[in-house]
Amino acid sequence: MHEMSLTQNIMEIIEQQHRQHGFREVTDIWLEIGALSCVEQSALEFCFEIMRKDTVAEHCRLHFVHLPVRAWCWQCQQEVEVAAYQDCCPRCQGVHLQRQSGTEFRIKEIAVK
């Protein structure tokens, strides 16, 4: 379960920002998760629920922004949205695609008091 280590990283970033900026608490965190990131949202929520206790993020709400898989089609010279690694271009059915996004996992925003 790599969601535990991802949650540990999130908590480390929160603590680092807390030391630098001195806020009282974190109220909300928005996470961007790519469709191919292999991050299980429910497992991440479970880990966060456990790890946030007795921290500045104890009452924090998680928000998820789901990002699609985007790829460049070399045949029709367009950026397209695809469902998986092995998909063909939805415009021209070309198979020569270069993935541009979809594996992201990052903190987009942190709201604090």
What structural domains does the chain harbor?
3-112 (3.30.2320.80)
pLDDT in tens, 42-74: 999 999 999 999 999 999 999 999 999 999 999
What pLDDT is attached to residue 85? 72
Distance CA 29, CA 59 (A): 11
Q: What residue numbers does the annotated binding site cover?
A: 2, 73, 76, 89, 92
Q: What residue numbers does the annotated binding site for Zn(2+) cover?
A: 73, 76, 89, 92
- pLDDT, the chain, mean: 95
What pLDDT is attached to residue 1? 63
| Token code pair at residue 103 | 């594996």
Q: What residue numbers does the annotated binding site for Ni(2+) cover?
A: 2
CA distances from 73 to 24, 69, 78, 98 (A): 48, 13, 5, 7
